[in-house]
């Protein structure tokens, strides 16, 4: 079966094609992606209306590119999957509208997918795919969650941020240091030349009894340190502050991930979402997990941030298990706020064709 996947929840337009092959992990045939980072940079963040308009402009050409790269025609598509949520309402509607129009034109079913399910299954497309069950650390610009994942559609929330997401903490600290949007990767680069212990920054909820996170206080602490440094702190001080900020975020993410492994008794950790591209986070997680004999799995670097491949993959893996909520009424709906745990399992009476 061939699945077309469409991602438009935020500032990346992604289209991809995967093929299911029995019970084995589906194969990625082609993917096309357009990032809106340049479009939003001037505003220091994502402008929802501009995001929606750009998704409209990009989707059709990207879909054509993906099909051409896979050497397939439209009629090869069996199911059209799209990100149903969470995300920006207008941006999601563009993908849902496109998917439903294509599904109706081809007389193929459509399938709405949870964006975070896409992220946490994305390491299955890597050279080193995980096996179920595992703990997933989801770290993106909008989410920071630890989940217990027993299979596709079987997700249990272990803990999450009570305020800012980890990516948001990176981006906000970076903005204060005068770095362009999105600042996470730029702050990481600046941190390479800095001392990680130069500034004493808080590690919120590090030793709390639960697996929740809080990053809003870190942003305030960075601001206070910057003020102390005066108008022109100089490059080395900025690098030191970047390194200290990154280490504070990484310390909390690593510690809570280890506690989650201990609490669940599992020995596999999957890291997904944009912050999963952070080299210091990977280094520390690999080290700490190796100490306990646990394995860490990451998506391929290019699949860390938003993309269509993870949506097509999640749809294909649901189809394989007969838990796909296929629709042929094309009454597309989106869920801008949608907890992953409520997207678990199958709806009654809904099975794969
Ligand atoms: O998953 P994603 O592409 O989009 C959302 O669904 O939010 O994640 C984007 C986030 C941004 O906050 C970005 O700054 C952060 O991931 N990010 C990084 C790195 N690469 C991306 N943060 C720290 N270090 C990086 N190397
Ligand atoms: Zn994402």
2-121+304-342 under CATH 3.30.420.40, yes or no: yes
pLDDT digits (tens, 9 = 90+) for 232-244: 889 999 999 999 9
Question: pLDDT-based confidence at 341, cuts 50/70/90?
Answer: confident
Exposure letters 27-57 (e unless 16+ CB within 10 A, then b): ebbbbbbbebeebbeeeeebbbebbbbbbbe
Q: Kindly indicate the confidence band of residue 353, based on its pLDDT and cuts at 50, 70 and 90.
A: very low
For 238-264, give one letter per residue: b (16+ CB within 10 A) or e: bbbbbbbbbbbbbbbbbbbbbbbbeeb
Query: Which of ligand 1's atoms lies nearest the C-alpha of 188?
Result: 24
Q: Where residue 342 falls among pLDDT bands split at 50, 70, 90?
A: confident
Q: CA torsion angle for 334, 337, 343, 349 (degrees, to 10)?
A: -40
pTM for this entry: 0.94
Same fold flag, 2-121+304-342 and 133-298: yes
231 CA distance to ligand 2 middle (Å)? 35
**pLDDT over 50 at 297, yes or no:** yes
What was the pLDDT predicted at 348? Answer: 38
Ligand with smallest separation from the Cα of 142: 1
**Can you give the pLDDT at residue 189?**
98
pLDDT digits (tens, 9 = 90+) for 174-187: 999 999 988 999 99
More confident residue, 141 or 343: 141
- The number of the ligand nearest the C-alpha atom of 311 reads 2
Query: Could you say which ligand is closest to the alpha carbon of residue 139?
Result: 1
Sequence spans of domains, the chain:
2-121+304-342, 133-298
Residue 204 CB–ligand 1 contact under 6 Å: no
pLDDT surpassing 90 at residue 157: yes
pLDDT band for 137, please (50, 70, 90 cuts).
Answer: very high
- Indicate the pLDDT class of residue 149, thresholds 50, 70 and 90: very high
Average pLDDT over residues 203-214: 94
CA distances, 196 to each of 67, 128, 257, 277, 299 (Å): 46, 31, 21, 19, 27
d(CA 317, ligand 1 centre) in Å: 25
Q: 121 C-alpha to center of ligand 1: Å? A: 17
CA of 229 to the centre of ligand 2 (A): 34
Q: Is the CB of 278 under 6 A from ligand 1?
A: yes
Q: Does 144 sit in the ligand 1 pocket, CB within 6 Å? A: no
pLDDT digits (tens, 9 = 90+) for 33-76: 999 999 999 998 899 999 999 999 999 999 999 999 999 999 99
Q: Is 253 in the pocket of ligand 1 (CB under 6 A)?
A: no
Beta strand 134-139 with 110-114: parallel, antiparallel or unpaired?
unpaired
**pLDDT at residue number 161:** 97
Cβ of 188 closer than 6 Å to ligand 1, yes or no, is: yes
User: What residue owns the CA closest to ligand 1's atom 7?
Assistant: 141
Topology adopted by domain 133-298: Nucleotidyltransferase; domain 5 (3.30.420)
How high is the pLDDT of residue 97? 98
Tell me the sheet residues that pair with 159: 146
The per-residue pLDDT for range 100-113, each reduced to its tens digit, is 999 999 999 999 99
Enumerate the β-bridge partners of residue 18: 3, 28
Phi first, then psi: give them for residue 106, nearest 5 degrees: -95, -5
For 134, phi then psi, to 5°, come to: -150, 165
Residue 226 has pLDDT above 90, yes or no: yes
> Which pLDDT does position 231 carry in this prediction?
83
Say yes or no: CB of residue 306 within 6 Å of ligand 1: yes
- Residue to probe by mutation, ligand 1, list 247, 305, 309, 310, most atoms within 8 Å of CB: 305
Q: Is 261 in the pocket of ligand 1 (CB under 6 A)?
A: no
Residue 332 has what pLDDT? 79
Q: What local confidence, expressed as pLDDT, does residue 232 receive?
A: 87
Instruction: Look at residue 252 and tell me whether its pLDDT is greater than 80.
Output: yes
Closest ligand by atom to 275 CA: 1
């Amino acid at each position: 079966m061939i699945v077309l996947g469409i991602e438009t929840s935020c500032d990346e337009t992604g289209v991809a094609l995967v093929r299911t092959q029995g019970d084995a992990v589906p194969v990625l045939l082609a993917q096309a992606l357009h990032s809106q980072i340049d479009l939003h940079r001037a505003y220091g963040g994502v402008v929802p209306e501009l995001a929606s308009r750009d998704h409209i402009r990009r989707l059709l050409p990207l879909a054509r590119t993906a099909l051409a790269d896979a050497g397939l025609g439209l009629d090869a598509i069996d199911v059209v999957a799209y990100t149903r949520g969470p995300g920006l309402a207008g941006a999601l509607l563009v993908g849902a509208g496109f998917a439903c129009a294509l599904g109706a034109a081809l007389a193929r079913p459509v399938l709405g997918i949870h964006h975070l399910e896409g992220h946490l299954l994305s390491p299955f497309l890597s050279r080193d795919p995980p096996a179920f069950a595992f703990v997933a650390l989801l770290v993106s610009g909008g989410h920071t969650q630890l989940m217990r994942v027993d299979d596709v559609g079987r997700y249990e929330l272990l803990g999450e941020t009570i305020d800012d997401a980890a990516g948001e903490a990176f981006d906000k600290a970076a903005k204060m240091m005068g770095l362009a949007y999105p600042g996470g990767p730029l702050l990481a680069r600046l941190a390479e030349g800095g001392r990680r212990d130069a500034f004493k920054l808080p590690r919120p909820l590090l030793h709390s009894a639960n697996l929740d996170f809080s990053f809003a206080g870190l942003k305030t602490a960075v601001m206070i340190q910057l003020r102390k440094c005066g108008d022109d702190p100089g490059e080395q001080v900025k690098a030191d502050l970047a390194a200290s900020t990154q280490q504070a975020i990484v310390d909390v993410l690593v510690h809570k991930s280890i506690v989650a492994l201990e609490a669940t008794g599992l020995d596999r950790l999957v890291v997904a979402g944009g912050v999963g591209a952070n080299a210091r986070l990977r280094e520390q997680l690999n080290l700490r997990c190796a100490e306990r004999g646990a394995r860490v799995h990451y998506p391929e670097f290019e699949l860390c941030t938003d993309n269509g491949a993870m949506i097509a993959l999640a749809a294909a893996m649901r189809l394989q298990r007969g838990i796909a909520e296929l629709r042929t009424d094309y009454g597309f709906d989106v869920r801008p706020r949608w907890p992953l745990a409520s997207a678990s399992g199958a709806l009654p009476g809904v099975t794969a064709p």
